[in-house]
Amino acid sequence: MQSILVANRGEIAVRVFATARRMGISTVAVYSDADADALHVREADAAVRIGPAPARESYLVPEKIIAAAREAGAEAIHPGYGFLSENAAFAEAVMTAGLVWIGPPPAAIRAMGLKDAAKALMAKAGVPVTPGYLGEDQDDKTLAREAGRIGYPVLIKAVAGGGGKGMRRVDKAADFAAALESARREARAAFGDDRVLLETYVTRPRHIEAQVFADSHGNTVHLFERDCSLQRRHQKVIEEAPAPGMDKATRAAVTGAAVKAAQAVGYVGAGTVEFIADASEGLRPDRIWFMEMNTRLQVEHPVTEMVTGLDLVEWQLRVAAGEPLPLSQDQIRLTGHAVEARLYAENTAGGRFLPSTGVLEHFRLPDTVRADAGVAEGGEVTPFYDPMIAKLIAYGPTREAAVSDLCEACDEVEVWPVKTNAGFLGRCLESPDFIAGDVDTGFIDRNLEALTDAAEPSAAALSAAAAAAMVNAEAGSAEEPFSPWRELVGFRLNAEPETAVRLFRADEAVLARAAEHAQPRSVLVTHDDEIVVFEAGEAFAFTEHPPSADVAEGGGGDGAVRSPMPGKVTAVSVKAGDTVAKGQTLLTLEAMKMEYALAAPFDGKVAELSAQVGAQVSEGAVLAVLEAGA
């Protein structure tokens, strides 16, 4: 093939373009109005606009994607992941249009697309599956009864789901109805299908998955396993290959079941078979069950590339062109260890993980590890799409070396003013339990307070901020906005041995001392004369004047419940005049494909309610007002 269109955006589009360019294949990007100046558009040889910012009016419209391919003269379409990547009807439409579909056959997508049918198929093929309820009866009472039969805790999962959407853990019968409603609403919004299945919830689960590849000549292989147990709200955060503690017998069981699963549906191309393991007694061949198959390339595919030395996108393109797999099973080697962290545009403070949007005025990623980014400095993070902005992947001869390198890389991330989870990632990676490989899918929840505690700048960071304030004042940055002092990286201050400077961080005054030899720190002076010190993946902002008082995110002492981000109101749980308790959910917002509940900041009465289901709200908008003690 001579040219391909990638029906996706962000880092996956950039990633596919890189391999295509190396293979001499021309590339076509598609973009919405929100992505007109995005990195993936600039990286492509050609680009076609496909509609407004909302995905349902652009990236999720098959006709627009196919029309763009025809307009640009592309021969093939690569779906990336997310959006239409696992849509069998889209795959058929691509092939009907005379284009090459770089993915599995539509029949395989359908077979694995509905979790209940897929599990039944896998059970018939001899692949072990998790106990649960896969019935067609979706009546609330039936589902509640089946949950009781399975036994709590139970897991509700969207039949057409993926990526943690429409998934809820329920610990007791009293919570089932509310969790079911929430799961259905999220599933309906994400997939247009609110049907669910139920599974027994494994109390010490690990998420193990196997990468498989098949060609149209009857060959199917595995590329070993990955461990994706570090998750939050069923969204993967850190992935690695191989899985810690994996012995030969368990590996053989997992990879053998994955190959059997792929063969059962006549699979072709790249796919991932996901398993849940009961790790209460370590990894064992008889305690791992099939969960689902993702019929596409995975976000975490780089860790498999690093430990096998293979380019999975190149394999996809060759298989789609009708070639046999480049290697047989006995030629594929597993060497070393790789770990990947997903860098999200989000504020992790207090464990809320709120999306962060805006222009990336300063964006620096480390050059010591592989960094797959979907944005660049000057670009914008919008509320319309997934908040992942980059992936950081470290490789080493041992797990210890790879984890250490990735932790250092997270520490070196510099992003402003958009907030990221880099500091949170670093704290996960340096946790003694993680270093020991003692993890499961509940790791983050169990350690949430320690992992999301508000970070404080070190003495060295304070010293750097004080020194920058002095240098900035001397340089007259306000009058010279393009002064070389705007970015003060690793500088040394020739001043008195110790000089005190009064700075402000949030609403707190800080007495910072500029030492004679300021510690090397990356410092940015913004156009608003904020002094930003980057340290351990965090961005600490200081001013020389006290800022105006702000109401805390989501609510405050005045009773105003504000939107902490731009988003869409998906549910309103109260009405004006209702009496509410502190912590009670008032309404639910959706942003960047996830739901966020806003709770009452104190006991009281709903005095005003302006939020309406379906309304788009801006950051800081007052959605409700509470009166205390009512």
For 493-530, how does the pLDDT look when each residue is reduced to its tens digit (9 = 90+)? 454 555 778 888 876 788 777 765 557 678 988 887 89
315 and 245, same structural domain? Answer: yes
pLDDT band at 202 (very low <50, low <70, confident <90, very high): confident
Summarised one tens digit per residue, pLDDT across range 409-421 is 999 999 999 999 9
Cβ neighbours of residue 31 closer than 8 Å, sequence gap 6 or more? 9, 38, 40, 41, 47, 48, 49, 50, 58
What is this structure's pTM? 0.83
The yes-or-no verdict on residue 553 having pLDDT over 80 is no
Q: Is the pLDDT of residue 303 over 90?
A: yes
Q: Report the chain's C-alpha Rg in angstroms.
A: 25
Q: How far apart are CA 452 and CA 447, in angstroms?
A: 9
Determine the pLDDT at residue 211.
Answer: 98
**Domain-embedded: residue 499:** yes
User: Per the domain annotation, does 63 fall within a domain?
Assistant: yes
**Per the domain annotation, does 549 fall within a domain?**
no
588: closest CA among 161, 178, 182, 164? 182
Are 524 and 415 contained in the same domain?
no
Domain boundary among 454, 487, 516: 454
Q: What is the pLDDT of residue 260?
A: 96
279 and 147, same structural domain?
no
* Residue 550 maps to a domain: no
Q: Verify that 175 and 253 share a domain, yes or no.
A: no
Q: What is the pLDDT of residue 498?
A: 57
Q: Confidence class of residue 328 from pLDDT cuts 50, 70 and 90?
A: very high
CATH code, domain with 259 = 3.30.470.20
CA atoms of 327 and 324, how far apart (whole Å): 9
CB atoms within 10 A of CB 492: 12
Give percent of the chain above pLDDT 70: 93
What pLDDT is stored for residue 336 in this prediction? 98
Which tokens belong to 94? 């691509």
CATH number at residue 188: 3.30.1490.20
C-alpha of 512 from chain center:
36
Residues 289 and 406 both lie in one domain: no
- Give Dmax over CA atoms of the chain in angstroms: 78
Instruction: State pLDDT tens for residues 483-495.
Output: 444 555 444 445 4
Total domains present in the chain: 6
Q: How high is the mean pLDDT of the chain?
A: 90
Estimate to the nearest angstrom the gap between the alpha carbon of 70 and the chain centroid: 32
For residues 23 and 160, membership in a common domain is answered with: no
Region 129-137: mean pLDDT is: 89
CATH of the domain at 615: 2.40.50.100
Task: Provide the domain limits for residue 286.
Answer: 103-130+206-335
Residue 141 lies in a domain: yes
With cut-offs at 50, 70 and 90, classify the pLDDT of residue 280. Answer: confident
- Long-range CB contact pairs, 170-178, < 8 A, 24+: 173/144, 173/147, 173/148, 176/143, 176/144, 176/147, 177/140, 177/144
Q: Do residues 274 and 174 both lie within one domain?
A: no
pLDDT of 555 strictly over 70: no
Q: How many CB atoms lie within 10 A of CB 483?
A: 15
Flag whether 47 is in a domain: yes
Q: Do 352 and 296 have their domain in common?
A: no
Q: Which two tokens stand for residue 451?
A: 């992992």
DSSP 403: H
In which residue are the tokens 């003694």 written? 432
Token pair of 182 as six digits: 């929430």
Instruction: Give the CATH number for residue 33.
Output: 3.40.50.20
Q: What is the pLDDT of residue 550?
A: 42
Is the pLDDT at 436 greater than 60? The verdict is yes
Residue 221 and residue 108 share a domain: yes
Q: Point out the domain boundary residue: 304, 335, 366.
A: 335
Q: In DSSP terms, which residues pair with 542 in a beta bridge?
A: 531
Q: What are the pLDDT digits (tens) for 578-621?
A: 999 988 999 998 877 677 888 898 999 999 999 899 888 887 88
Residue 410 near residue 341 (C-beta atoms within 8 A): yes
For this structure, is 296 an active site residue?
A: yes
474 and 359, same domain (yes or no): no
Domain boundary among 434, 454, 474: 454
255 found inside a domain: yes
Residue of 168, 184, 251, 296 with catalytic role:
296
> What pLDDT was estimated at residue 115?
76
For residues 147 and 264, membership in a common domain is answered with no
552, pLDDT greater than 60: no
117 φψ region: left (φ > 0), alpha (ψ -120 to 50), beta (else): alpha
CA angle 564, 567, 572 (to 5 degrees): 85
Average pLDDT over residues 385-399: 96
Quick: pLDDT tens for 535-544: 999 999 999 8
Q: Which H or E element spans position 510?
A: strand 508-515
User: Given a cut of 70, is residue 452 above it in pLDDT?
Assistant: yes
17-76 tens-digit pLDDT = 999 999 999 999 999 999 999 999 999 999 999 999 999 999 999 999 999 999 999 999
In terms of domains, do 286 and 176 share one?
A: no
How high is the pLDDT of residue 565?
79
